[in-house]
Amino acid sequence: MVQKSIHKSEIVAYSSEKMYALVSDIPSYQHFLPYCSSSSVLSTKGNIVHGQMLFSYFGLSYTLETKNIMEPHSRIGLSLLKGDIQTLEGQWLFTDIKPSGCKVSLDLNIEMHDAIFYRLYNRIIDKLADSMVDRFLDRALQVYGLEED
């Protein structure tokens, strides 16, 4: 079994409300996440959102379906429903910092049974997981500009 853990955090000039809005906007992922060719919400029931993302890399396609437990402006818990990896568990945390801004944290744990499969998808997983917070910070700059309103 191959395991990978990602722990990343950044302090940003945007509110937790704004950063939460970006991360919870699953349909927009395809516009800024590396290798993500489509992204959508499959269903929503209360605070539970089922999302799907399709990643493509050098002719390989990889689909993930996740269950996301939404706690507005503070946390998004996520777990794998369907995909080619064994386990994907994690969370996004958004913590306001006074007078303005917030701390954005991402924790992910990924497990795969097959080391050969891991080598095939290693580039996609590493590129996405290791840069995920950075891609959302870039997106915040694109959507909100340099300063918070």
What is the pLDDT, as a whole number, of residue 149?
A: 44
Where are any strands of DSSP class E within 46-140? 48-57, 60-71, 75-82, 87-96, 102-112
CA atoms within 13 A on the CB side of 14: 23
Reported as half-sphere exposure (CB side, CA atoms, 13 A), residue 138 has a value of: 10
The pLDDT value given to residue 148: 45
pLDDT of residue 115: 65
Higher pLDDT, 21 or 56: 21
Percent of the chain clearing pLDDT 90 (strictly above):
57
Please write the tens of the pLDDT for every residue from 30-88.
Answer: 999 888 999 999 999 999 999 999 988 778 788 899 999 999 999 999 999 998 778 88
Q: Would you say 50 and 66 are in contact if contact means Cβ atoms under 8 Å apart?
A: yes
